[in-house]
């Protein structure tokens, strides 16, 4: 698994962020309370691939999100939420966020999207204040990565990730990369109170994408990558 050396896949979890990487001949994991602790714990990483919007727009939707929905296709396209505009990052309630988002952009901002706003802000503040983190952290979306692993454009997985069939489909794809035994050992080793099974599988497919980014064979949506107003790349990698 030399191609995954120095690569980390990250997904949001119940207790913070679950990171997965290949170390000492096996898949390894750790849950971190916040983005800063995670990045500081992996200062030697070549790529940290995380499921969180990074480059934010000033108004209107990101091309990254629009193209990602098209890439995934089918039912799973709806799992790619619209990224908030930068001007509402400091909103403290969903009604406030929705009102301000509508004033800036003409669109409201739902409760499900508001729930991850603090996590978006966490990574945005880190990346805008840490040049080393900007060099190695890249945005991924698990459904985009699974579609790519499943054959590419329009090959998003049919079954939701929290169903038995959805989990099995994702395990099967990851097994082709890491080996089924390694995947299952990792899944079973993570207490559900820290991270659900779907979070673990999403972190693993983020690790797969991190390996592709590190080796220079990853794709991006859009291509070429477009930076936001702060210089952060507004792109989803796979």
What is the CB neighbour count within 10 angstroms for residue 228? 18
CATH architecture of 2-81+118-237: 2-Layer Sandwich (3.30)
- Kind and range of the H or E element at 3? none
pLDDT in tens, 190-201: 999 999 999 999
Q: Which of 129, 137, 133, 132 is nearest to 52 (CA)?
A: 137
When pLDDT is cut at 50, 70 and 90, the band that residue 143 belongs to is very high
pTM of the model: 0.96
Q: Which CA distances in Å does 22 have to 84, 85, 105, 221?
A: 33, 35, 42, 26
Using DSSP's 3-state secondary structure scheme, residue 148 falls into helix
**CA pair distance 236, 64, nearest whole angstrom:** 6
Q: Parse the chain into domains and list their residue ranges.
A: 2-81+118-237, 82-115
pLDDT in tens, 68-106: 999 999 988 989 988 999 999 999 999 999 999 999 999
When pLDDT is cut at 50, 70 and 90, the band that residue 17 belongs to is very high
């Amino acid at each position: 698994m030399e191609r995954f050396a120095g690569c980390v896949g990250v997904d949001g979890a119940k207790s913070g962020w679950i990171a997965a990487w290949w170390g000492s001949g096996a898949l390894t994991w750790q849950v971190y309370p916040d983005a800063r602790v995670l990045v500081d714990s992996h200062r030697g990483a070549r790529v940290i691939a995380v499921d969180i919007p990074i480059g934010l727009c000033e108004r209107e939707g990101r091309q990254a999100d629009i193209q990602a929905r098209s890439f995934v296709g089918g039912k799973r396209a709806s799992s790619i939420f619209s990224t908030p505009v930068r001007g509402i990052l400091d909103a403290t309630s969903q009604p406030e966020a929705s009102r301000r988002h509508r004033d800036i952009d003409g669109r409201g901002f739902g409760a499900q999207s508001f729930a991850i706003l603090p996590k978006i802000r966490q990574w945005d503040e880190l990346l805008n204040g840490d040049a080393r983190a900007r060099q190695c952290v890249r945005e991924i979306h698990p459904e985009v990565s699974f579609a790519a692993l499943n054959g590419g454009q329009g090959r998003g997985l049919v079954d939701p990730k929290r169903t038995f069939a959805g989990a099995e489909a994702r395990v099967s794809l990851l097994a082709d990369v890491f080996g089924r035994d390694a995947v299952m050992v990792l899944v079973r080793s993570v207490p559900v109170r820290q991270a659900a099974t779907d979070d673990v599988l999403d972190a693993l497919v983020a690790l797969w994408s991190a390996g592709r980014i590190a080796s220079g064979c990853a794709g991006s949506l859009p291509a070429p990558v477009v930076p936001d107003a702060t210089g952060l790349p507004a792109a989803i990698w796979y």
